[in-house]
Structure 1
Amino acid sequence: MLTTPQSSRPSRWQSNTAIPTRDTSRVPGAFALKEVRVPMKITTLFVASLLAASVSGCKLVKTSNGEAGVAADPIAEVVETTFDAKLVPALTEKAVDLATLQNAINGSLDKAGESYGVRVGGAGGGWNFPVKGSATVIEENRASKAAVAEIDIDGDGKADATLQLGPVVKGSALRDTAGLYDFSTFRDQIEYAKLGRALNDKAVSKLPAADTALKGKKVNFVGAVVIRTASEKPLIMPVSIEAAP
Protein backbone atom coordinates (compact mmCIF):
# COMPACT_ATOMS: atom_id res chain seq x y z
CA MET A 1 0.00 0.00 0.00
CA LEU A 2 1.28 3.40 -0.94
CA THR A 3 1.34 5.97 1.81
CA THR A 4 1.80 9.66 1.41
CA PRO A 5 4.68 10.94 3.49
CA GLN A 6 3.68 13.65 5.90
CA SER A 7 5.28 17.00 5.34
CA SER A 8 7.82 18.08 7.89
CA ARG A 9 6.63 21.64 7.37
CA PRO A 10 4.96 22.98 10.52
CA SER A 11 1.28 23.80 10.34
CA ARG A 12 0.04 27.34 10.66
CA TRP A 13 -0.42 26.69 14.33
CA GLN A 14 3.19 25.74 14.90
CA SER A 15 6.49 27.55 14.80
CA ASN A 16 9.99 26.17 15.31
CA THR A 17 11.22 28.49 18.03
CA ALA A 18 14.51 28.42 19.91
CA ILE A 19 14.00 28.82 23.62
CA PRO A 20 16.44 28.56 26.52
CA THR A 21 16.30 25.23 28.36
CA ARG A 22 18.46 23.85 31.11
CA ASP A 23 21.30 21.78 29.67
CA THR A 24 22.40 19.21 32.24
CA SER A 25 25.08 17.81 29.94
CA ARG A 26 27.22 20.88 30.43
CA VAL A 27 28.08 23.04 33.36
CA PRO A 28 25.45 22.75 36.10
CA GLY A 29 23.05 25.66 35.95
CA ALA A 30 23.94 26.45 32.29
CA PHE A 31 21.31 27.01 29.65
CA ALA A 32 21.33 26.06 25.97
CA LEU A 33 19.05 27.06 23.09
CA LYS A 34 16.97 24.13 21.88
CA GLU A 35 14.46 24.16 19.07
CA VAL A 36 10.95 23.24 20.14
CA ARG A 37 7.60 23.61 18.45
CA VAL A 38 5.48 26.37 19.88
CA PRO A 39 1.94 27.14 18.70
CA MET A 40 2.20 29.96 16.17
CA LYS A 41 -0.64 31.82 17.82
CA ILE A 42 1.41 32.09 21.02
CA THR A 43 4.46 33.25 19.07
CA THR A 44 2.40 35.90 17.30
CA LEU A 45 0.93 37.16 20.55
CA PHE A 46 4.40 37.33 22.11
CA VAL A 47 5.78 39.42 19.23
CA ALA A 48 2.73 41.68 19.34
CA SER A 49 3.22 42.27 23.05
CA LEU A 50 6.85 43.29 22.45
CA LEU A 51 5.79 45.77 19.78
CA ALA A 52 3.14 47.22 22.07
CA ALA A 53 5.66 47.63 24.88
CA SER A 54 8.09 49.43 22.60
CA VAL A 55 5.60 52.21 21.87
CA SER A 56 3.86 52.35 25.23
CA GLY A 57 5.82 55.49 26.16
CA CYS A 58 4.60 57.38 23.11
CA LYS A 59 1.34 59.21 22.65
CA LEU A 60 -0.35 59.19 19.26
CA VAL A 61 -2.03 62.41 18.17
CA LYS A 62 -3.58 63.72 14.99
CA THR A 63 -1.35 66.01 12.96
CA SER A 64 -2.50 69.03 10.98
CA ASN A 65 -3.18 66.83 7.94
CA GLY A 66 -5.33 64.45 9.96
CA GLU A 67 -2.82 61.62 10.11
CA ALA A 68 -1.67 60.01 13.33
CA GLY A 69 1.71 61.03 14.66
CA VAL A 70 3.78 60.83 17.86
CA ALA A 71 3.23 63.70 20.30
CA ALA A 72 6.22 65.90 21.09
CA ASP A 73 7.89 65.63 24.49
CA PRO A 74 6.14 68.27 26.65
CA ILE A 75 9.27 68.90 28.73
CA ALA A 76 11.31 69.52 25.59
CA GLU A 77 8.63 71.92 24.36
CA VAL A 78 8.76 73.90 27.60
CA VAL A 79 12.54 74.20 27.38
CA GLU A 80 12.53 75.19 23.71
CA THR A 81 9.88 77.86 24.18
CA THR A 82 11.22 79.39 27.40
CA PHE A 83 14.99 78.99 27.64
CA ASP A 84 16.13 81.68 25.19
CA ALA A 85 12.93 83.70 25.20
CA LYS A 86 12.33 83.94 28.96
CA LEU A 87 14.86 82.22 31.21
CA VAL A 88 18.08 83.80 29.93
CA PRO A 89 16.58 87.33 29.81
CA ALA A 90 15.14 86.92 33.32
CA LEU A 91 18.45 85.77 34.79
CA THR A 92 20.36 88.50 32.97
CA GLU A 93 17.98 91.20 34.20
CA LYS A 94 17.87 90.04 37.83
CA ALA A 95 21.47 88.89 38.19
CA VAL A 96 23.52 90.31 41.05
CA ASP A 97 27.26 90.70 40.64
CA LEU A 98 28.90 87.71 42.31
CA ALA A 99 31.38 89.86 44.24
CA THR A 100 28.49 91.92 45.65
CA LEU A 101 26.60 88.76 46.57
CA GLN A 102 29.55 87.19 48.35
CA ASN A 103 30.08 90.32 50.43
CA ALA A 104 26.40 90.26 51.38
CA ILE A 105 26.54 86.56 52.27
CA ASN A 106 29.54 87.17 54.53
CA GLY A 107 27.30 89.52 56.50
CA SER A 108 24.21 87.27 56.57
CA LEU A 109 23.10 84.58 54.16
CA ASP A 110 19.42 85.06 54.96
CA LYS A 111 19.58 88.83 54.49
CA ALA A 112 21.43 88.34 51.21
CA GLY A 113 18.74 85.86 50.18
CA GLU A 114 15.94 88.24 51.02
CA SER A 115 17.62 90.97 48.98
CA TYR A 116 18.80 89.04 45.93
CA GLY A 117 17.42 85.50 45.92
CA VAL A 118 14.50 83.15 46.27
CA ARG A 119 14.15 80.22 48.66
CA VAL A 120 12.66 76.93 47.46
CA GLY A 121 11.58 74.23 49.89
CA GLY A 122 10.89 76.36 52.96
CA ALA A 123 13.24 77.47 55.70
CA GLY A 124 15.39 74.36 55.33
CA GLY A 125 16.06 74.93 51.65
CA GLY A 126 18.94 76.86 50.17
CA TRP A 127 18.79 80.30 48.59
CA ASN A 128 18.77 80.46 44.81
CA PHE A 129 20.49 83.47 43.24
CA PRO A 130 20.77 84.78 39.69
CA VAL A 131 24.40 85.84 39.31
CA LYS A 132 26.76 87.48 36.87
CA GLY A 133 30.36 88.59 36.92
CA SER A 134 33.75 88.98 35.33
CA ALA A 135 36.52 86.66 36.46
CA THR A 136 39.76 84.98 35.48
CA VAL A 137 39.74 81.23 34.95
CA ILE A 138 42.62 79.96 37.06
CA GLU A 139 41.97 76.24 36.71
CA GLU A 140 40.02 74.07 34.30
CA ASN A 141 39.15 70.37 34.44
CA ARG A 142 37.88 69.03 31.14
CA ALA A 143 38.95 65.42 31.76
CA SER A 144 35.88 64.69 33.86
CA LYS A 145 32.37 64.43 32.44
CA ALA A 146 31.47 66.83 35.23
CA ALA A 147 33.86 69.44 33.82
CA VAL A 148 34.34 72.69 35.74
CA ALA A 149 36.28 75.94 35.64
CA GLU A 150 37.58 77.57 38.82
CA ILE A 151 37.33 81.36 38.71
CA ASP A 152 39.05 84.19 40.57
CA ILE A 153 36.93 87.30 41.03
CA ASP A 154 39.06 89.57 43.20
CA GLY A 155 42.45 88.96 41.57
CA ASP A 156 44.14 87.26 44.52
CA GLY A 157 44.90 84.12 42.50
CA LYS A 158 42.51 81.94 44.54
CA ALA A 159 39.29 80.32 43.35
CA ASP A 160 36.22 82.20 44.56
CA ALA A 161 33.61 80.15 42.68
CA THR A 162 33.19 77.25 40.28
CA LEU A 163 31.50 77.32 36.88
CA GLN A 164 29.95 74.03 35.80
CA LEU A 165 30.74 73.13 32.19
CA GLY A 166 29.16 69.69 31.89
CA PRO A 167 27.99 67.60 30.28
CA VAL A 168 27.23 66.26 33.77
CA VAL A 169 26.08 69.06 36.08
CA LYS A 170 24.46 69.29 39.49
CA GLY A 171 21.43 71.03 40.90
CA SER A 172 18.25 72.69 39.68
CA ALA A 173 19.16 76.35 40.20
CA LEU A 174 18.15 77.28 36.65
CA ARG A 175 14.68 75.87 37.20
CA ASP A 176 14.21 77.35 40.65
CA THR A 177 15.78 80.80 40.44
CA ALA A 178 13.83 82.75 37.83
CA GLY A 179 10.31 81.98 39.07
CA LEU A 180 9.14 80.87 35.63
CA TYR A 181 8.28 77.24 36.34
CA ASP A 182 5.42 76.50 38.75
CA PHE A 183 5.52 73.01 40.23
CA SER A 184 1.71 72.83 40.32
CA THR A 185 1.57 72.92 36.51
CA PHE A 186 3.55 69.67 36.23
CA ARG A 187 2.15 66.17 36.67
CA ASP A 188 4.42 65.18 39.55
CA GLN A 189 7.86 65.57 41.09
CA ILE A 190 9.37 63.25 38.48
CA GLU A 191 8.28 65.52 35.63
CA TYR A 192 9.50 68.58 37.54
CA ALA A 193 12.89 66.94 38.02
CA LYS A 194 13.02 66.15 34.30
CA LEU A 195 12.53 69.84 33.60
CA GLY A 196 15.49 70.73 35.80
CA ARG A 197 17.74 68.28 33.97
CA ALA A 198 16.51 69.41 30.56
CA LEU A 199 17.24 73.06 31.38
CA ASN A 200 20.73 72.11 32.53
CA ASP A 201 21.34 70.17 29.31
CA LYS A 202 20.18 73.14 27.25
CA ALA A 203 22.49 75.47 29.15
CA VAL A 204 25.47 73.15 28.66
CA SER A 205 24.83 73.17 24.91
CA LYS A 206 25.32 76.96 24.93
CA LEU A 207 28.67 76.90 26.75
CA PRO A 208 32.14 76.86 25.17
CA ALA A 209 32.98 73.53 23.56
CA ALA A 210 35.27 71.05 25.30
CA ASP A 211 38.14 71.91 22.97
CA THR A 212 37.97 75.60 23.88
CA ALA A 213 40.63 76.34 26.48
CA LEU A 214 39.50 78.77 29.19
CA LYS A 215 42.38 78.64 31.66
CA GLY A 216 44.11 82.00 31.98
CA LYS A 217 41.33 83.85 30.19
CA LYS A 218 39.09 86.60 31.50
CA VAL A 219 35.42 85.68 31.08
CA ASN A 220 32.01 87.22 31.61
CA PHE A 221 29.26 84.90 32.82
CA VAL A 222 25.57 84.80 33.72
CA GLY A 223 23.94 81.95 35.58
CA ALA A 224 22.26 80.71 38.73
CA VAL A 225 23.49 79.22 41.97
CA VAL A 226 22.02 77.73 45.13
CA ILE A 227 23.74 78.60 48.42
CA ARG A 228 22.97 76.64 51.60
CA THR A 229 25.71 77.85 53.93
CA ALA A 230 27.69 81.07 54.07
CA SER A 231 30.99 79.19 53.99
CA GLU A 232 30.47 77.16 50.81
CA LYS A 233 32.10 78.01 47.50
CA PRO A 234 29.42 78.86 44.92
CA LEU A 235 28.85 76.16 42.30
CA ILE A 236 27.33 78.12 39.43
CA MET A 237 25.25 76.76 36.56
CA PRO A 238 25.93 79.30 33.79
CA VAL A 239 23.70 80.02 30.82
CA SER A 240 26.49 81.96 29.12
CA ILE A 241 30.28 82.23 29.32
CA GLU A 242 31.96 84.70 27.00
CA ALA A 243 35.52 85.89 26.66
CA ALA A 244 35.89 89.34 28.19
CA PRO A 245 37.15 92.08 25.84
Structure 2
Amino acid sequence: DKMVEDIWASKVIPYLVQKAGPLAEVQALAKTDPAAAGAKYGNPRKQTNSPWTFAVRVEGKIITANTQSRAGTMDIDVDGDGKADARVQIGPAMRGTALRDSLDFVQFNDFTNQIDFAQFGKAFNAYA
Protein backbone atom coordinates (compact mmCIF):
# COMPACT_ATOMS: atom_id res chain seq x y z
CA ASP A 1 0.00 0.00 0.00
CA LYS A 2 2.81 2.40 0.91
CA MET A 3 4.68 1.65 -2.34
CA VAL A 4 1.58 2.52 -4.39
CA GLU A 5 0.90 5.65 -2.37
CA ASP A 6 4.50 6.79 -2.84
CA ILE A 7 4.37 6.58 -6.66
CA TRP A 8 0.70 7.35 -7.40
CA ALA A 9 0.82 11.15 -7.84
CA SER A 10 4.46 11.42 -8.87
CA LYS A 11 4.68 8.58 -11.41
CA VAL A 12 1.44 6.69 -12.09
CA ILE A 13 -0.89 9.59 -12.93
CA PRO A 14 1.63 11.49 -15.12
CA TYR A 15 2.53 8.26 -16.94
CA LEU A 16 -1.11 7.36 -17.67
CA VAL A 17 -1.98 10.91 -18.75
CA GLN A 18 0.95 10.83 -21.21
CA LYS A 19 0.47 7.24 -22.38
CA ALA A 20 -3.32 6.91 -22.76
CA GLY A 21 -4.86 7.39 -26.18
CA PRO A 22 -8.46 7.70 -27.34
CA LEU A 23 -10.17 4.29 -27.35
CA ALA A 24 -10.96 4.26 -31.09
CA GLU A 25 -7.40 5.25 -32.00
CA VAL A 26 -5.85 2.59 -29.77
CA GLN A 27 -8.24 -0.09 -31.06
CA ALA A 28 -7.56 0.77 -34.71
CA LEU A 29 -3.78 0.66 -34.28
CA ALA A 30 -3.95 -2.53 -32.22
CA LYS A 31 -5.84 -4.24 -35.07
CA THR A 32 -3.36 -3.20 -37.77
CA ASP A 33 -0.07 -3.20 -35.85
CA PRO A 34 -0.22 -4.59 -32.28
CA ALA A 35 3.49 -4.00 -31.69
CA ALA A 36 3.21 -0.31 -32.65
CA ALA A 37 0.10 0.07 -30.51
CA GLY A 38 1.89 -1.59 -27.62
CA ALA A 39 4.90 0.68 -27.96
CA LYS A 40 2.75 3.80 -28.12
CA TYR A 41 -0.08 3.01 -25.70
CA GLY A 42 1.01 -0.10 -23.84
CA ASN A 43 3.78 -1.62 -21.86
CA PRO A 44 6.37 -2.88 -24.39
CA ARG A 45 8.40 -4.67 -21.71
CA LYS A 46 5.72 -7.24 -20.93
CA GLN A 47 6.62 -10.92 -21.09
CA THR A 48 6.32 -12.25 -24.62
CA ASN A 49 3.59 -14.70 -23.64
CA SER A 50 1.42 -11.99 -22.01
CA PRO A 51 -1.27 -10.05 -23.87
CA TRP A 52 -0.84 -6.30 -24.27
CA THR A 53 -2.34 -4.00 -21.69
CA PHE A 54 -3.18 -0.64 -23.26
CA ALA A 55 -3.86 2.68 -21.57
CA VAL A 56 -6.93 4.35 -23.09
CA ARG A 57 -9.08 7.42 -22.57
CA VAL A 58 -12.82 6.85 -22.80
CA GLU A 59 -15.26 9.69 -23.34
CA GLY A 60 -18.90 9.22 -24.21
CA LYS A 61 -22.41 8.55 -22.93
CA ILE A 62 -23.03 6.08 -20.13
CA ILE A 63 -25.42 3.44 -21.46
CA THR A 64 -25.76 1.30 -18.33
CA ALA A 65 -24.29 1.21 -14.87
CA ASN A 66 -24.04 -1.81 -12.61
CA THR A 67 -23.98 -0.47 -9.08
CA GLN A 68 -25.50 -3.57 -7.48
CA SER A 69 -22.17 -5.38 -7.39
CA ARG A 70 -19.16 -4.25 -5.38
CA ALA A 71 -17.25 -4.83 -8.62
CA GLY A 72 -19.41 -2.19 -10.32
CA THR A 73 -19.06 -1.27 -13.98
CA MET A 74 -20.46 1.17 -16.48
CA ASP A 75 -20.88 0.65 -20.22
CA ILE A 76 -20.02 3.65 -22.37
CA ASP A 77 -21.01 4.54 -25.94
CA VAL A 78 -17.97 6.26 -27.41
CA ASP A 79 -19.05 6.67 -31.04
CA GLY A 80 -22.66 7.80 -30.60
CA ASP A 81 -24.36 4.71 -32.07
CA GLY A 82 -26.24 3.93 -28.85
CA LYS A 83 -24.25 0.73 -28.23
CA ALA A 84 -21.62 0.21 -25.57
CA ASP A 85 -18.04 0.37 -26.85
CA ALA A 86 -16.27 0.09 -23.50
CA ARG A 87 -16.87 -1.26 -20.03
CA VAL A 88 -15.20 0.68 -17.23
CA GLN A 89 -14.79 -0.56 -13.67
CA ILE A 90 -16.19 1.86 -11.12
CA GLY A 91 -15.79 -0.27 -7.99
CA PRO A 92 -15.55 0.05 -5.14
CA ALA A 93 -13.97 -3.38 -5.66
CA MET A 94 -11.67 -3.49 -8.69
CA ARG A 95 -10.71 -6.73 -10.45
CA GLY A 96 -7.67 -7.71 -12.45
CA THR A 97 -4.20 -6.27 -12.80
CA ALA A 98 -4.61 -3.99 -15.84
CA LEU A 99 -3.59 -0.88 -13.92
CA ARG A 100 -0.39 -2.44 -12.59
CA ASP A 101 0.38 -4.17 -15.88
CA SER A 102 0.04 -1.02 -17.99
CA LEU A 103 2.97 0.65 -16.22
CA ASP A 104 6.34 0.12 -17.90
CA PHE A 105 8.23 1.07 -14.73
CA VAL A 106 6.69 -1.78 -12.69
CA GLN A 107 8.20 -5.16 -13.51
CA PHE A 108 7.72 -8.62 -12.07
CA ASN A 109 11.48 -8.98 -11.49
CA ASP A 110 11.38 -6.01 -9.10
CA PHE A 111 9.54 -8.22 -6.58
CA THR A 112 10.64 -11.14 -4.44
CA ASN A 113 8.02 -13.51 -5.81
CA GLN A 114 4.67 -13.85 -7.55
CA ILE A 115 2.76 -13.34 -4.31
CA ASP A 116 4.40 -9.96 -3.66
CA PHE A 117 3.73 -8.91 -7.27
CA ALA A 118 0.06 -9.92 -6.92
CA GLN A 119 -0.26 -8.01 -3.63
CA PHE A 120 1.17 -4.94 -5.35
CA GLY A 121 -1.54 -5.28 -8.02
CA LYS A 122 -4.23 -5.54 -5.33
CA ALA A 123 -2.83 -2.43 -3.65
CA PHE A 124 -3.19 -0.51 -6.96
CA ASN A 125 -6.82 -1.53 -7.24
CA ALA A 126 -7.56 -0.58 -3.66
CA TYR A 127 -5.88 2.80 -4.10
CA ALA A 128 -7.72 3.50 -7.36
Residue number in structure 2 paired with 1:7 = none
Question: Could you tell me how far 1:107 is from its partner in structure 2?
Answer: 2.8
SS in 1 for 2:38: helix
Per-residue Cα deviation, 1:105-135 (whole angstroms, up to 9, x for no partner): 333444432443225231x311011111311
* Of 174, 185, 193, the match for 2:110: 185
Structure 1: which 5+ residue stretches go unaligned? Answer: 1-75, 204-245
The aligned counterpart of 1:175 is: 100
Pairing 1:121–2:47 present: yes
The C-alpha deviation readout for 1:138-164, integer Å capped at 9, x for no partner, is 110100111000001000000001000
Is 1:83 paired with 2:83? Answer: no
Q: What secondary structure does 1:129 align onto? A: coil
Indicate if the aligned counterparts of 1:87 and 1:180 stay in contact, CA closer than 8 A: no
Give 2:122's match in structure 1, choosing from 171, 191, 197: 197
Match of 1:166 among 91, 98, 101: 91
Q: Distance in 1 between matches of 2:40 and 2:107?
A: 22
Q: In structure 1, how many angstroms separate the alpha carbons of the residues matched to 2:92 and 2:99? A: 15
Alignment of 1:221-240 (within 5 A): none
Between the aligned residues of both structures, percent identity stands at: 38
The answer to whether residue 17 in structure 2 is matched with residue 92 in structure 1 is yes
The question of 1:140 aligning with 2:57 is answered no
The secondary structure found in structure 2 opposite 1:162 is strand
RMSD: 1.7
Q: Name the count of aligned residue pairs.
A: 127
Query: How many angstroms does 1:185 deviate by?
Result: 2.5
Q: What SS does the corresponding residue of 2:118 show, helix, strand or coil?
A: helix
CA contact (8 A) 2:23 2:57 kept: yes
**1:98 & 1:129 partners in 2: Cα distance?**
9
Q: Specify the SS of the correspondent of 1:163.
A: strand
Letter in 2 for 1:182: Q
Bigger Rg, structure 1 or 2: 1
Structure 2: gaps of 5 or more residues? none
Q: Which structure is higher in helix share?
A: 2
Partner SS for 1:165: strand
Moved over 4 A (4+): none
Greater fraction strand: 1
User: In structure 2, what is the Cα distance between the partners aligned to 1:93 and 1:108?
Assistant: 20
